[in-house]
Every structure is written in structure tokens, then in C-alpha cells.
Structure 1
Amino acid sequence: MTDFAPTTLHLRTLGDALVTLNGQPLVWPARSAEELLWYLHAHPQGAYRADVLADLWGLEDTPTATNRFRVALHRLRATLGRADAVTEVRGRYLLHPELLAASDTAALQAGLEAARAARTGDEREEALRRALACVDGEYLPQVRAEWVEEARAYWRAARVRAHVALSSLHCARRECPLAAQTLLRAVQSDPLIGEDHHQRLMTCLAQTRGRFEAVEHYRRYRRYLREEVGDTPMPDTVRLAERLKAGELLCWAAEQEGQAAESKR
């Protein structure tokens, strides 16, 4: 069997669960084969057969269940067109690295790594935008099972990190509308990313959309904390909201720079 050409196969997991070959969706001979693919993708370090059987199909590792696993595995390999699509290493079943590399999550990870290694702000922005270009929603949104939650949280956090990093670049350049837009996407994805991000967003919204938008975000955040967490905003956030209500136009980046300069005196 020949290796996959790197541009022909693509696994889309962020916002969808779709495999395409030469731009065309693969036709799965059985649902179990597709389920096995996504399970192994969510466990890139591999998984034991007993765990696959229990998590995917609620089965114990019996001879009958083992046969079901073998059939699903055979169909998965046949559909993808290579016998080494899934390998077994010390009892753990793993997707071939080329399959993992053909995924949108690999592109997201590569973009984040390139951003960390970037030498200039422009290079970092390009890498972050490249990372976010492949993101179109939650990881494997069609899957409703406990086994996907850890991977879903991981990739959600990766997406949020990219949005926050890009927003910080815009903020440092005083590109307030872009900073607000990008940071808003981050807090919408994960409202608990950190209260300092909500504070920065409030100041960005006041600068770009007016104090009413800023205060409304504060109220939504306060309601979220009360209803979902059973908590209240920090005193600093409450004081910031009051300042914005009073009509102050604040710049988070400028205030942070001022505090840093003050601390050096």
C-alpha cells in the first residue's frame, strides 16, 4: 500500500466530524468504523481495546465484543485504504501519525507552536491567524459521550489561547476594535478564562462600542457567575464597571504600562 498524499486526506474535527479524500467525503461501511476513528483521534496516545469497547459501545472485553472490535477495525483500515491506519503497540491501538497530521487539530497546534517561536509581532500574528483559520467550532460536536470531553476541553483551551494571544497583539498596537472582537470570541468560548480578560474586554468595548456595551458585558458576566458558578465578580471588576458607568474611557494596555512604569520607580 502507498502512503497517503498529504494534501488528499483531511480529518475535520473542529466544528464537524468529517473525513475527506481528494475533497470528497468518505463513505463509511458502518457507523462503528467511523466511531472508532474519532475515538482514536481523541486519544492520540492510544487506547486499550477494553477501554474502546466500554467507552464506545458499553461492552465488556468478551470474545463476542472482541469480534465486534476486530470488524470495526478492519472496516476502518479498509475505508482509509491502508493496513497500518491503526497500529497496536503494547496492547494500545493508535492512529498512524500521518492520519493525526492530516487533521485540523494538527494545524491548530502547529500554528500555536509557530506563534510561540515567532521573532516578530507580524510573524506571531500570521501564525495565530493560520491556527484559527482551521477552527470552526467545538471538537467533534456531533459526539455526545463522556470519552470526548477531555479532548474537547483541551482543544477549546487551545482555541481560546490563540484568541487571547491575538487579542493581546492588537491591544499592544492600540488596535482596539480588533482587540475587542478577538477577545470577545475567547470569552464566549470559555467564560472562565480569567477575570482579567473580562476586565480588558470591558475597557475595549467601552472604547469601541460605548460604555453601555461594556456595562452590559459586565452584567452578563455577573449573571453567569451567579447562575453557573455561585460566585460574584472580584472587587476590582466591580470598581471598573462603576468607572465605566460614570463615563470614563479607559485603556487596559495603557493602564498596565503605567503600573509597570510606576513599579520600576
Structure 2
Amino acid sequence: MVTVNGQPLVWPARSAEDLLWYLHAHPGGAYRADLLADLWGLEDTPAAANRFRVALHRLRATLGRADAVSEVRGRYTLHPDLLAASDTAALQTALQAASLARTDAEREAVLRRALACVEGEYLPQVRSDWVEEARAGWRVARVRVYVALATLHCARRECPLATQALTRAVQADPLIGEDHHQRLMTCLAQTHGRFEAVEHYRRYRRYLREEVGDTPMPDTVAIAERLKAGELLCREAELERGQARG
């Protein structure tokens, strides 16, 4: 949703809203020919160019800014202020702030603010191929936040919170690094019991076989066997012991 002075916008035409979201998903800008092809399946003809000019005029008028979209050497971009006011910009700002945080408490607070920006799908109302790249980047950022939170919770032995964050991470991206699946298995064993941990391993193994045509790494299989045997593992503690021995 787009608001101006706290009020939701009423779009005069779908084309103006489509243009806004396309430029939002391409912060580096886009050429008119690409806009026409991706948004409306048109070639860059005089008639199509006129349709684009109408949509551009309506977008600027609706936002109340003549400078809402600029054109430099044929490339159209949203004004930096408009990009900075979006959830995407807030997410990137929060991730950068988290990397610079001086304490765990400060880092967690920033990460949770970032998480509030990435709940749900990116531009769920858009059903076009052009949005998929930006949507994939959105998912990657969401996974980064969950993994960072899980790392914090693991370090503090907050097993239920670590389990929750890792579960969200692998749900968002099942092909996340296999070490995260290993960590989730050990966390599940601690918080929900070995049967839940082994069940996650089986689901992951089935996913790899059916969707990727692959199998889990030997380390993952070994962890699953240890969990099946009733051994309670803590991946974080094992890593710490390994570092101490090194």
C-alpha cells in the first residue's frame, strides 16, 4: 500500500500503479523498452511509447511530485526519497545496522525491526514474471534475518527461540546451507525431542530427492543416526569444543 501524508492513494489507472511497482523493484532504473515489454508485453512503438508517457504522467500526478520519476540517458528511476521510504530500504538499513551493532541486545533489536519489514511476500498483488528476481532477493534477506537471530539465540543457549528462527529460515528457503538444517535438527532434539528432529531430517531428505535429485551430506546422515540413537547434540557446543581443540 502507498500512502501520502498518511492517506492511502487512489490510483487513477492500473498502469500508473504497475509502473510504480516496477520501478520500485528495479532501484537501478529501467529502459522504456524493458518497461513496455515486461509490464504490458508491448514493443517500443510510437503507440506504446504514448501509453508509457500517459502512465508516467499519471504516476507523477498521483504522487504529487513532478520529480517522482527521473530519466537519465534513457533510463527511468524512482526518486531516491521514494525508494528510501519503502520497506525494502528499511530492511537494508536494518541489516546494515545489525552488522554494526556493538552488543547482542542491540543487534537483536535491530534484527527484529528488520523482520517486521519482511513478513509476508514481496508485492503479493503482482502476478508477473518481472517481479520474481526482486521477490527472490526479498526471500534471501528474510532468511538472513532469521539465521542471524538463530545464531544469537544459539550463542545464548536460548534453544526454543533458536529453533523457531531456524524453522522459519528453512521454510523460507529449503535450499539454505545444509549446516543450518543440521543445526535445526539438533535444536529440535533439544526442544521437541529426537522424533521431531529425525522427522525433519526425513522431510529434508525427501525434498532433496524429489526436488533436487540429491542426497544429504554424510555429516547430516551421521547426525541423524546419532539423534535416532537417543544422543542429545548441541551443534553450537560442538563447534565451540572444536575451536577450543584447534
Correspondence for 2:186: 203
Provide the C-alpha distance between the structure 2 equivalents of 1:250 and 1:142, rounded to a whole number of angstroms: 43
1:178 aligned residue (161, 174, 183): 161
2:55 matches 1:67? no
What are the equivalent positions in structure 2 for 1:143-182 lying under 5 Å apart? 143-182=126-165
TM-score relative to the length of structure 1: 0.91
* Highest RCO, 1 vs 2 (Cα 8 Å, sep ≥ 6): 1
* Structure 1: stretches of 5+ with no match in the other structure: 1-17
What amino acid sits opposite 1:125 in the alignment?
E
Pairwise CA distance, 1:142: 2.2
Please list the CA deviations of residues 50-105 of structure 1 after superposition, one character each: whole Å capped at 9, or x if unmatched.
10001111111110000000000011111111111111111100001111111111
Pairwise CA distance, 1:138: 1.8
What amino acid sits opposite 1:57 in the alignment?
W
Pairwise CA distance, 1:154: 1.1
2:96 matches 1:113? yes
Provide the C-alpha distance between the structure 2 equivalents of 1:74 and 1:205, rounded to a whole number of angstroms: 55
Correspondence for 2:21: 38
2:239 aligned residue (246, 256, 259): 256
Structure 2 SS opposite 1:184:
helix
Structure 2 SS opposite 1:134:
helix
Pairwise CA distance, 1:140: 1.2
2:224 matches 1:238? no
2:30 matches 1:47? yes
Structure 2 SS opposite 1:155:
helix
Provide the C-alpha distance between the structure 1 equivalents of 2:18 and 2:153, rounded to a whole number of angstroms: 40
Correspondence for 2:77: 94
Please list the CA deviations of residues 137-191 of structure 1 after superposition, one character each: whole Å capped at 9, or x if unmatched.
1211222222111111111111111110111000000000000001111110001
* Structure 2: stretches of 5+ with no match in the other structure: none
What are the equivalent positions in structure 2 for 1:209-228 lying under 5 Å apart? 209-228=192-211
Give the stretch that moved more between structures: 67-76 or 151-160: 151-160
Provide the C-alpha distance between the structure 2 equivalents of 1:97 and 1:28, rounded to a whole number of angstroms: 21
2:36/2:52 contact within 8 Å kept = yes
